[in-house]
Amino acid sequence: MTAAGRWCTRIVLTGVLPIVCLALLLAALHGAIWGWVVAASGLMLVVLLQTRRLALLAAWIDGPQQGEVPDSGGAWGEVFRKLSRKLRLDARALAEVEARLGSFSDAMDAVPDGLVVLSENHQVQWANRAAGEHLGIRLPRDGGAIIQQLVRAPGFAEYLSSPAGQPPFILLSPAARRRAYSLRAVPLGERNTLLVSLDVTDARRVEAMRSTFVANVSHELRTPLTVVSGFLEHFGDESAMSAEQRQQFVRLMSEQTRRMLSLVDDLLTLSRLEAEDAPASEEDIDMADLLAQLQAEAEGLSCGRHRLQFRCGGPGLRGNRHELHSAFGNLVSNAIRYTPAGGDIRVRWKLRAGVAVFSVRDSGVGIAAEHLPRLTERFYRVDRGRSRDTGGTGLGLAIVKHILLRHQAVLVIDSQPGVGSNFRAEFPEWRLRPQPSPALPAADEA
């Protein structure tokens, strides 16, 4: 309505009513017909104008209410203004509730556990994003669907219908994804249920590793213990044993005891390495000196059965000498143990393109490609018999890997069955230091 229109309406309403009253009075006192006519026309005009105002208000209520409330004078104007204020307040409250709901929903989507609200008959009412990842539930597509039809796993329907407080249901995802979820149903209010899903894949993997490890250790200890206890039984009846036999038994028993001791030593070393993230101390290592020490030990182990060659052409190295001695010593002793008599073993420390490499190359039995990725797993052996016969515990390369990791170094293995192996520990440049004493012949490029 234009401003002129509004003014006309006001003038008419304020002017017409006194005229109507006057006409009614005159018509009543003098019985003048024109009085009734004027009064009736005036009243009709007033009703028409009020109806028009109500029509305007109805149109405004139906509309988006972005504009101002239609301007009306008098009592209607007051009603319109109050209505407008109430609508404004309601709109603000609604916007606030929507904003809160939005941030609550964002928070629920950020929760790493899956959450699904189920009705009394297990229909999906609401679910967060993690529930989509764990159980494949997507809203609005699955809203109202029965959960047992979405999560099809043997035993799940029974779990949902069982009383509260049961141990969680473990859901294994399809084989390709190899994930495991723990599902727990919690009562929500009077009738609803909250289904919480937790990704327990890693926890189950760790648990499986732990129990495999315990089984392996028990097995490794059981074998020598069985041998020793068998021999001890014979010692009960000394008369049935010659002095020679007794000597042989004692030798075999001490061999088994040594085996158990080295297994326990390796286990302790591994657990210590796992307990700490970094070596307790580091120093500048004279690599020529360390290689000389390794060479002396290798000669003792080989007893002249192999051609050994040690070369030091690299710089000094920053690290924990005790740990690196143990890692390098493991690689050298493996080369000796897995190389038949007459074979070659070459140990090098050299610098190539900014990377310092400690390498042990042998002409031994070699390793087939499919075993290479698993060699550093605890107790993984290519040839169990050979490992045992040569005093192996199956933990050597696991220890090497841990020690190298603590020195930000990587272990690279090349090998060919029947030809030999090359184990290389590669160190980052920032660990290198000037080498104080080039005591061993420099490495050639071989």
Q: Which residues bind ligand ADP (CB under 6 A)?
A: 334-335, 338, 362, 364-365, 367, 375, 380-383, 387, 392-398, 421
Q: Which amino acid is at 330?
A: N
What residues form DSSP beta bridges with 285?
A: 317
Nearer to ligand ADP, 316 or 396 (CB): 396
Nearer to ligand ADP, 116 or 395 (CB): 395
User: What region, left, alpha or beta, does residue 136 occupy, with left being phi > 0 and alpha being psi -120 to 50 degrees?
Assistant: left
Asked whether the bond before 140 is cis by omega within 30 degrees of 0, the reply is yes
Rounded CA gap, 180 and 422, in Å?
A: 39
Which of 269, 272, 289, 310 lies closest to 396, judged by CA? 269
Nearer to ligand ADP, 41 or 422 (CB): 422
Q: How far is the CB of 230 from ligand ADP (least distance, A)?
A: 24
Q: How far is the CB of 404 from ligand ADP (least distance, A)?
A: 13
Q: Which amino acid is at 210?
A: R
Nearer to ligand ADP, 200 or 270 (CB): 270
Q: How far is the CB of 333 from ligand ADP (least distance, A)?
A: 8
Nearer to ligand ADP, 154 or 385 (CB): 385
Which residues lie below 8 Å from residue 36, measured CB to CB, with a gap of 6+?
Answer: 23, 24, 27
Do the beta carbons of residue 334 and residue 423 sit within 8 Å? yes
Q: How far is the CB of 367 from ligand ADP (least distance, A)?
A: 5
Q: How far is the CB of 235 from ligand ADP (least distance, A)?
A: 30
Q: How far is the CB of 293 from ligand ADP (least distance, A)?
A: 20
Q: How far is the CB of 322 from ligand ADP (least distance, A)?
A: 18
Nearer to ligand ADP, 182 or 334 (CB): 334
Rounded CA gap, 355 and 430, in Å?
A: 9
Q: How far is the CB of 375 from ligand ADP (least distance, A)?
A: 5
Q: The dihedral of CA 19, 24, 27, 32: what is its sign? A: positive
Nearer to ligand ADP, 137 or 367 (CB): 367
Nearer to ligand ADP, 128 or 334 (CB): 334
DSSP type of residue 182: E
Three-class SS of residue 208? Answer: helix
Phi, psi of 193 (to 5 degrees): -130, 140
Nearer to ligand ADP, 298 or 397 (CB): 397
Q: How far is the CB of 196 from ligand ADP (least distance, A)?
A: 42
Nearer to ligand ADP, 138 or 388 (CB): 388
- In the sheet with 192-199, reading across from the earlier edge strand, the strands are 124-127, 114-118, 192-199, 180-188, 169-172
**DSSP structure string for 81-139:** HHHHHHHHHHHHHHHHHHHHHHHHHHHHHH-SSEEEEE-TT-BEEEE-HHHHHHH---T
Phi, psi of 315 (to 5 degrees): -80, -175
Q: How far is the CB of 330 from ligand ADP (least distance, A)?
A: 6
Q: Which amino acid is at 156?
A: F
Joined together, the tokens standing for residue 56 give 């305007």
Nearer to ligand ADP, 184 or 325 (CB): 325
Q: What is the largest CA-CA distance in the chain?
A: 159
Q: How far is the CB of 278 from ligand ADP (least distance, A)?
A: 23
What is the helix (H) or strand (E) element at residue 290, kind and residue range? helix 287-302
Q: Say if residue 356 is exposed, middle or buried (CB neighbours under 10 Å; 0-12, 13-18, 19+).
A: buried
